[in-house]
Amino acid sequence: MNSQDKLIVFDTTLRDGEQSPGASMNKDEKIRIAKMLEKMRVDIIEAGFPVASPGDFESVRAVAETIQNSTVCALARALNKDIDRAGEALAGGKSTRIHTFIATSPIHMKHKLRMQPDQVVEQAVAAVKRARKFTDNIEFSPEDAGRSEFDFLCRIIEATIKAGAGTINIPDTVGYNIPSQFGELIKRLIETIPNADKAVFSVHCHNDLGLAVANSLAAIMNGARQVECTINGLGERAGNAALEEVVMAVATRQDVFQCKTDIDTTQIVTGSKLVANITGFAVQPNKAIVGVNAFAHESGIHQDGVIKSRETYEIMRAQDVGWSDNRMVLGKHSGRNAFRARLTALGVEFKSEEDLNEAFAKFKVLADKKHEIFDEDIQALVTETTQTIANERIKLVSLRVCSETGETPCSRIILNIDGEEQQSVSEGDGTVDASFKAINKIVNSGTELQLYSVNNITSGTDSQGEVTVRLQKNGSIVNGQGADTDIVIASVKAYVNALNKIMEPVDRKHPQSSNL
């Protein structure tokens, strides 16, 4: 180990990140995020769990066919059908990896798998061998390693390395560990397992106790050379280790870490905004690295210090993670070429000229309403253009709302449903509530509203409001987005988008379910 060691960055935003309820993404959204991760120089992109559903399979296949400079990985339980499906989805990829896993903690083996430890080892070894028929690049994870018995972990890891796994990932699946203990675990595993030098040790930490990043860093200090993480820390329950935090900790504290990543850190903020925009999971203002306040100095003493010498209160440069003061702004006089150039700089490519034209037309409409168009506006606009789902059955035709002091707010809406226009009127507690009620009179969706959130995309009263609506029906959860300078219209767009998505429910398997 020395300071030249490379720390492999394995991003699982598209797989574990997508397991956050409501963060599901469609194929085009996944391709957009994958391209951004490639631009950020992430080493490995875990694109999904192909056996989960035909849609998941297609998304992994599309990402594998698109990405050229990062390795694309697919997740598979230690089951033949999962591994074959993963292998098939990755077939068109340039550099690919299969990540297979099985639970190893006593509690998981007994209650979830209902298997004896010997059977678990046998199945893990068989899975690694089968995966090798598709690629030489195999990762094995003993799920819930953080609560597994040390001797059993050593046994299964030794056997899977022998079977051909080149990466051994140690997941703290339920976020139970604390840094000193987790670092020690990694150190002991590397020291004890006879063939440990034949594999790269990786970690995958969940944030249930808010320790995912701390545990990952402790593991890196103790020999882990791959870290699994997600943009904005998205992921199952409390999420995974945040990529931006791990990467910037390693970059900033080179006196402590004996390794380096290849990440282009100047892409971090763009990546964070893209993921927030697509998933509707807003970033808290005080979030490290990517929160809007991360580099803002409020107190006079701090401001004075930073003006005299930046290092007084800043340990990183805002520009190094992609915050920039002189942001390029477009306006109503900007032409198609300037618009296209800005899209290219943001890593957005449209599949066809028609899609570009549609986005440009929307840009012109927005530019008429809003003086300055920022990168965040463009991202929202691209999301709106690309998220149009294949069989969009409901379209907003027009909306009229009335709001007056002392009067009950009301809304009149016209929707086009399956090609036929339908109108409805409703009153409500506010104009948004009235509009949603009017929509429901027509659609009668039977959905439950789980989340309604409004964020201003940029500052100023002419900013676009970006609305996320999360709906639930029969266990299926979708996220709809809409953006507009008028927040009632943005809300209606988001609601209609969510309704369209929920009309196409998909039967997806969860990778960590007991249903083997």
CB of 72 to ligand KIV, least distance (A): 16
Choices 11-19, 111-119, 386-394, 497-505; region in contact with Zn ion by CB under 5 A: 11-19
Spatial distance between the Cα atoms of 25 and 200, rounded to a whole number of angstroms = 30
Q: Closest Cα partner for 225 from 253, 262, 193, 195?
A: 262
Sheet holding 410-417, edge to edge: 394-402, 410-417, 420-427
Residue 113 or 401: the one with the smaller Cβ distance to ligand KIV is 113
CB of 101 to ligand KIV, least distance (A): 5
CB of 75 to ligand KIV, least distance (A): 6
Burial of 58 from C-beta contacts in 10 A (0-12 / 13-18 / 19+): middle
Residue 251 or 516: the one with the smaller Cβ distance to ligand KIV is 516
Spatial distance between the Cα atoms of 135 and 91, rounded to a whole number of angstroms = 9
CB of 100 to Zn ion, least distance (A): 14
Structure tokens at 372: 């300055």
Alpha-carbon torsion angle 417, 420, 426, 428, nearest 10: 20
Residue 30 or 493: the one with the smaller Cβ distance to ligand KIV is 30
Q: Where is 263: in which H helix or E strand?
A: none
Q: Among ligand KIV, Zn ion, none, what does residue 257 contact (CB within 5–8 Å per kind)?
A: none
Spatial distance between the Cα atoms of 161 and 492, rounded to a whole number of angstroms = 53
Spatial distance between the Cα atoms of 16 and 236, rounded to a whole number of angstroms = 6
Contact string 34-73 vs ligand KIV (x = CB under 6 A): ----------------------------------------
Residues in region 399-458 near ligand KIV by CB under 6 A: none
Cα angle: 473, vertex 389, 482; to 5 degrees? 75
Identify the residue among 16, 43, 56, 139 touching Zn ion (CB under 5 A). 16
Spatial distance between the Cα atoms of 271 and 232, rounded to a whole number of angstroms = 9
CB of 173 to ligand KIV, least distance (A): 3
- Helices 243-252 and 212-221: crossing angle in degrees, nearest 10, is 40
Residues in region 149-178 near ligand KIV by CB under 6 A: 171, 173
Residues in region 83-102 near ligand KIV by CB under 6 A: 101
Q: Among Zn ion, ligand KIV, none, what does residue 141 contact (CB within 5–8 Å per kind)?
A: ligand KIV
CB of 363 to ligand KIV, least distance (A): 39
Q: Give one DSSP letter per residue of 224-259, joined into a string.
A: --EEEEBGGG--STT-B-BHHHHHHHHHHTTTT-SE
Q: Among Zn ion, ligand KIV, none, what does residue 244 contact (CB within 5–8 Å per kind)?
A: none
Residue 238 or 417: the one with the smaller Cβ distance to ligand KIV is 238
Q: Supply the Cα-derived Rg of the chain in whole angstroms.
A: 24
Spatial distance between the Cα atoms of 155 and 109, rounded to a whole number of angstroms = 15
Instruction: Return the residue matching tokens 């609506």.
Output: 469
Residues in region 402-421 near Zn ion by CB under 5 A: none
Identify whether the C-beta of residue 217 lies closer than 8 Å to the C-beta of residue 248.
Answer: no
Spatial distance between the Cα atoms of 235 and 13, rounded to a whole number of angstroms = 7
CB of 261 to Zn ion, least distance (A): 20
- Helices 336-345 and 375-386: crossing angle in degrees, nearest 10, is 90
CB of 210 to ligand KIV, least distance (A): 16
CB of 16 to Zn ion, least distance (A): 4
Residue 21: alpha-carbon gap to chain centroid: 12
Residue 173 or 481: the one with the smaller Cβ distance to ligand KIV is 173
CB of 302 to Zn ion, least distance (A): 37
Identify whether the C-beta of residue 464 lies closer than 8 Å to the C-beta of residue 475.
Answer: no
**Residue with the shortest CB distance to Zn ion:** 16
Task: Decide if residue 16 touches ligand KIV (CB under 6 A).
Answer: yes
Residue 148 or 385: the one with the smaller Cβ distance to ligand KIV is 148
Residues in region 206-235 near ligand KIV by CB under 6 A: 206
Q: Among Zn ion, ligand KIV, none, what does residue 511 contact (CB within 5–8 Å per kind)?
A: ligand KIV
Choices 15-23, 51-59, 331-339, 458-466; region in contact with Zn ion by CB under 5 A: 15-23
Structure tokens at 189: 């595993």
Q: How many chain residues interact with ligand KIV (CB under 6 A)? A: 9
Structure tokens at 113: 């798998």
Identify the residue among 28, 46, 82, 143 touching ligand KIV (CB under 6 A). 143
Task: Decide if residue 108 touches ligand KIV (CB under 6 A).
Answer: no
CB of 74 to ligand KIV, least distance (A): 12
Q: Is 468 helix (H, G, I), strand (E, B) or coil?
A: strand
CB of 299 to ligand KIV, least distance (A): 39
Residue 158 or 244: the one with the smaller Cβ distance to Zn ion is 244
Task: Decide if residue 204 touches ligand KIV (CB under 6 A).
Answer: yes
Choices 10-18, 195-203, 286-294, 296-304; region in contact with Zn ion by CB under 5 A: 10-18
SS3 string, 137-174, reads CEEEEEECHHHCCHHHHHHHHHHHHHHCCCEEEEEECC
Task: Decide if residue 43 touches Zn ion (CB under 5 A).
Answer: no
Point out which residues bind ligand KIV (CB under 6 A): 16, 101, 141, 143, 171, 173, 204, 206, 511
Contact footprint for Zn ion (CB under 5 A): 16
